[in-house]
Structure 1
Amino acid sequence: MRTMRSAVQLKSWGQAVAAAMLMSVLVACGGGGGGGGDGGNSGNSALNGGSLPASPTQQPIAVGAANTAQITVGAGTNGVANIPTVSVTICAPGSATNCQTIPNIQVDTASFGLRLVSSVINPSLLGVLPVSSVAAGQLAECATFADGYTWGSVRTATVSIGGETTTSAIPLQIIGDMAASTVPSRGCSGSAENTVSDLGANGILGIGTALNDCGTTCSTGSTAAIYSNYYACPGGASCSRATVPLNQQVANPVANFAGDNNGVIVQLPPVGNTGNASVTGTLVFGINTQTNNPLAASQSFTTDGYGDLNSSVFNGSTVQAFLDSGSNAYFFADSSITQCSGNLQGFYCPSAAQTRSVTLGGNNSTRALASIGILNASTLFNTSNYAFNDLAGQLSGNSSFDLGLPFFYGRYVYYGFDRSATGGQTPFVAF
């Protein structure tokens, strides 16, 4: 996940790209449109002689079934553009009454596991969420992002979203509940991102293709000693890297539902050229498990364990592409597009609308051309809108292509979870 903000909405942070090498892992980067703004109907003048590709036109299904939850893109907690959020309920293990529903949790399809800012959790609930531990001490996690990190304890809670609930309490990260003095000197870099203001949301719901956020890298001693994002903290301090079994790692909640647990579908409505003030969409749990979640995609790609399309091509170079609802813009390297200046630095500000295409390729033979539109970010931020399908920014290097939330508008985007370790499905993405 990578999220950037303008002067009122700008501060860049990015999801830890932990699958860049074999030893790396990703941790943490019924619808229709809402009201307000121009709805895109008067956005043609913003093209300034350029052109944008035709927008997809799928509409979300209605929210109401147990395997659905409403997604909202709007002003959110901090007025950050393109932050899709849902409400998540957590309960103390074994309790049906000591529970809390927390709104404005960012939907992130390129990370794995639930992370909640400690300040938004009722103290009476937070105090009884058990802190996980290994032999060397209580567990904490440093989820590293491009310009910062989240630091906090690993605890367990029962998680509900929409009408679905985990079969038992699962591990999650509580962000910002440990003193700054406990942050390890190695493994956490950049600025702390431990508050609602820093995140632009009350937490992160990682529902990508992996079942947990680190896998064998953190459960194998030889690699955990170097790459683990988990730390054992005896007495809550003196934290050092830890080897953590799979069942104690921060877990993808949807994969732990009793049913509808083999994947998710993110559905958002179309938006206009200059965006919408807000939109509502639908998060659907399960693929081919109910009448409302058939796999009806035009393109389907098998991926690596983290949902990456490693055989993609942009501007003649092989890139690692990924479909990331947690990124609020398209992020890629293209020196031919004018970059913004000042408080918008990092976004693209072309004088006329632009179209770019990337050939997506996964582990199977499927190849598909995806065309994206780029509009001047200054033009977009000079509206009262928060949902944009043509916001783009610069990504350092030329080895990655991040198809962020703009790609999701007007589409059904599918994520099939990785069950290959137990003889089940291989991970895939589709749209």
Structure 2
Amino acid sequence: MSAPAQRVFERASIRSVQADVRSFVLAGVLAVVLAGCGGGGGSNGTAGATVPASSPAAASAPAASAPASSPTSSGPSTSGTVPQSTTPNVVAVSVAATPTLTRNMLMASVTVCVPGTSTCATVNNVQVDTGSQGLRLLASALPAGFALPSVAAGAGSSPAGECAAFGTGYTWGAVRSADVRLAGEVAPALPIQLIADPSVPTTPSVCQGFGLAMINTTALRSNGILGVGPFNADCGAACVNQPNSSWYYSCPSGNCTASAQPLAQQVSNPVAAFATDNNGVVLDLPAVPDAGQSAVSGSLIFGIGSQSNNALGGATVLRANTVTGFVSTTTSDGSVYPLSYLDSGSNGFFFANAALTRCGAWYCPSAPLSIGATIKGTDGVSTPASLPVANAQTLFASGNWAFDNLAGYNGNMFGWGLPFFFGRRIYTAIEAQVTPAGAGPYFAF
């Protein structure tokens, strides 16, 4: 029996993708997605259970500072002393068969609570995404009657709605406040996006223009997105002083108009809101065989240099653009991709190579090959990296779910997706946060 069609899945939404250049991603990637990819269906796989806040993964909430604003300086510091922590800081992550039959989906479980209470719910099958900021959950993934308070739009009192664009479509929903619990860490009263929240039933036309509506498990391929990328908030300074119809809305009685949104009320990176271990994350995943693997287990570790399990060690630091989060990639054929990103939320490598045979959205060379490449930070520091590419149809027919050599087409950017994370410890440092290598944003491995 032939393998089911596999959809290209790019979560790339490092800030520029969700701003000035995200239209290029949608034009170059989404058209291929819609033309060449299918995918399975299935149930939503929701945990749906209400759990007490005293469960082992839900320690009492420590105090936390508000997320920092976007940095205005052009260059980060080169050293820093990081406060040490003893808080449990590891969340289990895995790649395995999913209800929607999508390969290379890195999943975790997330607990959200009504702020300041023990009324909590744990949601399974939430995708871990180092290419975006903020927690986004399907409203349908929470138990019936589980009510989170609204976050106000702008300086008023009307509830906020939000449009968030990704490489393969958009999410639309209400902005609500929750205590987000991950391992022993807590991000108190954090603005999150509740996707397809019935309080904001009508998607604005501007948002609909970003392509596929990822407002259910079939389209989102998960119950939510845990964005732990290199910035504190999803839009940042661009949304603070004036309305931006690509982002935030004021929604009195469900009728929404574009609105400015203060940083403290934007959907925010939960890691930046932790009391400690709040300067970034480490994704630690084992290597997988060339033919793939049926399941992979790894760790999402909070903090960089704050505990013995997140030491930076000898990792090469690649500083990212402080506005966009991009680094640069040069491949062995001399092609240069100045818009390059490291993104656990993309299920393959994504780049343009006319010499590779394509099968729909994916590359299907007649024999496996390895492409040499160099990744360079904004300060000129670079490191070599190999890019293995196998025949996607052969990989899908294997019945495995985790691959380090799955690659597809992107005509505008270079995406080092989840395949690159296998067999590595990859660090993502958050903007303006002190680390042993200076302030983020940067990637390191």
CA distance 1:85–1:306, change in 2 (3 Å): farther
Task: Indicate how the Cα distance of structure 1 residues 346 and 153 shifts in structure 2: closer, same or farther if over 3 A, else same.
Answer: same
Corresponding residue to 2:419 among 389, 392, 406: 406
Q: What one-letter code is carried by the residue in structure 1 that aligns with 2:171? A: T
2:291 corresponds in structure 1 to 274
Question: What is the letter of the counterpart of residue 441 of structure 2?
Answer: P
> Is 2:149 aligned against 1:132?
no
Counterpart in the other structure of 2:99: 77
* Structure 1 residues 197 and 14: alpha-carbon distance in aligned structure 2, compared to 1, 3 A threshold: same
Aligned ranges 1:180-329 → 2 under 5 Å: 182-189=202-209, 190-221=211-242, 224-225=243-244, 228-237=246-255, 239-305=256-322, 308-314=325-331, 315-319=333-337, 320-329=339-348
Structure 2: how far apart are the matches of 1:12 and 1:256? 28
Please give the alpha-carbon distance, in whole angstroms, between the structure 2 residues aligned to 1:124 and 1:242: 28
Mark the CA change 1:81 to 1:306 in structure 2 (over 3 Å): closer, same or farther.
farther
Residues in 1 aligned to 2:101 and 2:373: alpha-carbon distance in whole angstroms: 30
What is the rounded CA distance, in whole Å, between the counterparts of 1:272 and 1:84 in structure 2?
A: 17
Aligned sequence identity (%): 39
SS of corresponding position for 1:247: helix
Q: CA deviation at 1:79?
A: 1.9
Contact in 2 for aligned 1:110/1:306 (Cα 8 Å): no
Give the CA deviation at 1:180: 7.9
Q: 1:362 to 1:220 in 2, by over 3 A?
A: farther
Change (3 A) 1:329 1:414: same
The one-letter code matched in structure 1 to 2:179 is T
The runs of 5 or more residues in structure 2 that have no matched partner are 30-85
For residues 264-303 of structure 1, give each alpha carbon's deviation from its aligned partner in whole angstroms, at most 9, with x where no partner exists. Answer: 0000001000100001000111111111110024311111
Aligned counterpart, 1:7: 4
Which of these residues, 418, 424, 427, is aligned with residue 431 of structure 2? 418
Q: Does 1:336 find its partner at 2:336?
A: no
| Distance in 2 separating the partners of 1:258 and 1:17 | 24
Cα offset, 1:244, TM superposition: 0.2
Matched, 1:162 2:183: yes
Does the aligned pair in 1 maintain the 2:192–2:268 contact within 8 Å? yes
Residue 181 of structure 1, CA deviation: 5.4
Distance 1:82-1:346 versus aligned 2 partners, 3 A rule: same
Q: Alignment partner of 2:206: what SS?
A: coil
The Cα offsets for residues 359-389 of structure 1, whole Å up to 9 and x where unpaired, read as: 2111112111211100000110011210000
> 2:134 aligns to what?
113
TM-score, scaled to structure 2: 0.79
Q: Tell me how many residue pairs correspond in the alignment.
A: 377
Q: Name the counterpart of 2:72.
A: none
CA distance in 1, matches of 2:357, 2:166: 26
Report the TM-score, using the length of structure 1 for normalisation.
Answer: 0.82
1:11-22 equivalent positions in 2, closer than 5 A: 14-16=11-13, 18-19=15-16
Q: CA distance change for structure 1 residues 76 and 177 in 2, over 3 Å: closer, same or farther?
A: same
Any stretches of 5+ residues in structure 1 without a counterpart?
1-5, 30-63
Task: Give the Å deviation of 1:16.
Answer: 4.5
**Residue in 2 aligned with 1:361?**
376
Q: Which 10-residue stretch deviates more, 16-25 or 268-277?
A: 16-25
For the residues of structure 2 that align with 1:228 and 1:16, how far apart are their CA atoms? 13
- Deviation track 1:173-212 (CA, whole Å, cap 9, x = no partner) reads 0011137852111233223110012111110000011001
Distance 1:17 1:380 in 2: 28
